Amino acid sequence: MKAVRRLGKTPAELGNTTGVSGSPDILELDDGAFAVIGVDITDQVQDLGSFSARCASNERVVRIPRNTLTAAKNDIPEG
């Protein structure tokens, strides 16, 4: 599996990193799927069930800043 491109702006451009801490990001993978780098909030998020959402043992719920996702909007394919 390989990351082939970043969606949106770099974390530095968005002011979401200090260069020392992590860098929230959205990457497209070579199989067309996406990878999200963010803070693991799996143990803190509540009421997933009210959205019929579940997190399997090999999955994590991650938090990314709003500006990371909105900056990627134009790079996300329609279909």
Q: Is the pLDDT of residue 54 over 80?
A: yes
For the chain, give the mean pLDDT: 92
pLDDT at 36: 96
pLDDT, average across residues 35-43: 94
The domain tally of the chain equals: 1
pLDDT, average across residues 49-56: 91
Q: Which domain holds residue 33?
A: 3-75
Express as a percent the part of the chain with pLDDT over 90.
78
Q: Is the pLDDT of residue 61 over 80?
A: yes
Q: How far is it, in rounded angstroms, from Cα 21 to Cα 43?
A: 21
Q: Is the pLDDT of residue 65 over 90?
A: yes
Q: Where are the beta strands (DSSP E) in 1-79?
A: 3-6, 25-29, 34-37, 39-40, 62-63
